[in-house]
Structure 1
Amino acid sequence: MNEISFLEITSDDFDVIYEIELKAYPIPWSEKIMRSMVEGHEYKIKITYYDKVIAYVFVMVVLDEATILNIAVDPDYQGQGIGQKLLRYLKAQLSQKGIRSIFLEVRQSNQNALALYTSEGFHEIDIRKNYYPAKNGREDAIIMACVLMNE
């Protein structure tokens, strides 16, 4: 995929980002929470493909650690390496900022995401029981971490 760009999310991106959120997740974040992320001070990156937003990530940074709060690729663009490109870009950017490790939580049932995170150097460090709401009750979250090689 040529013509992709990594840019900071702005408040003008809210509608398209929330649309991706609704399409990408079985139980998406609420509009209120998503708006607070888009308008907040978190580290936030979007991928555009010919100026169309196709993926995003929100990251909270505290000292030398980062936590991925939300990451999504538009389902129309999944399976094309966009998530991998976004993770690699994010890791490089955070490493340059002196971040030493990245954490995230992922639904136990999300095998595609688990495979991607594992391939990008994340490993399981714990499980949060009944963390995510699910259609039939609750679902465990796998907590993963990736240590960045700062130079």
Structure 2
Amino acid sequence: MMRWLSQWWRGGTAAVEPASMRDAARLAQLHGASFAHGWGEGEFEAMLNERNTLVHRLRLGRRTIGFAVSRIGADEAEILSIAVDEAYRGRGLSRTLLMTHLGHLAGRGVRTIFLEVEENNQPARRLYAGCGFVVVGRRERYYKQPNGEQLNALLMRRDLS
């Protein structure tokens, strides 16, 4: 009883579910708050309409607090973006989101997943490594920051089979 009450008080239990068009504005808001070059609502609407793109939202109670987006090609997929509202980071929710998203990709026949991450983004690197991703490459000066600085990207891979 106390666990249920505690979860209710904090906003409910976390759920990962397919995103829909009505989520596009919130997903754009989350992306803009998480990345230097945020995607707009129209970009999310376009991705939500693509058959080869899988978009999940992370919901806590009634509030969408995160998302994951992947593009699928044959038996491979690339995670294009994953984000969790800053107020909810550090609670293991991104791991729940990512692992559930990977399970859905596997269910669609995906055997290999790729992603890129800023080399200096230690929280994201720890998340991906903890979920079985390994570094397989590096792209020099790949991410351009608002101040003009260019940061390296690491290419990571995980096999699902």
Report the more deviating stretch, 116-125 or 93-102.
93-102
Shift of 1:30: 4.5
Shift of 1:31: 4.8
Q: Residue 140 of structure 1 aligns to which amino acid in structure 2?
A: N
Q: Given the alignment of the two structures, is residue 112 of structure 1 paired with residue 123 of structure 2, yes or no?
A: yes
Match for residue 154 of structure 2 among 132, 142, 148: 142
Q: Given the alignment of the two structures, is residue 61 of structure 1 paired with residue 84 of structure 2, yes or no?
A: no
C-alpha contact (below 8 Å) 1:10/1:39 kept by paired residues = no
**Cross-structure match for 1:73:** 84
Q: Residue 121 of structure 2 aligns to which amino acid in structure 1?
A: N
Q: Given the alignment of the two structures, is residue 14 of structure 1 paired with residue 58 of structure 2, yes or no?
A: no
State which structure, 1 or 2, has the greater radius of gyration over its C-alpha atoms. 2
Shift of 1:39: 4.0
C-alpha contact (below 8 Å) 1:66/1:103 kept by paired residues = yes
Give the Cα–Cα distance (whole angstroms) in 2 for the partners of residues 93 and 101 of structure 1.
13
How many residue pairs align between the two structures? 149
Q: Which runs of 5 or more residues in structure 2 are unaligned?
A: 1-6
Q: Residue 160 of structure 2 aligns to which amino acid in structure 1?
A: L
**Cross-structure match for 2:99:** 88
TM-score (norm 2): 0.84
Identity score, percent? 27
Give the Cα–Cα distance (whole angstroms) in 2 for the partners of residues 76 and 69 of structure 1.
22
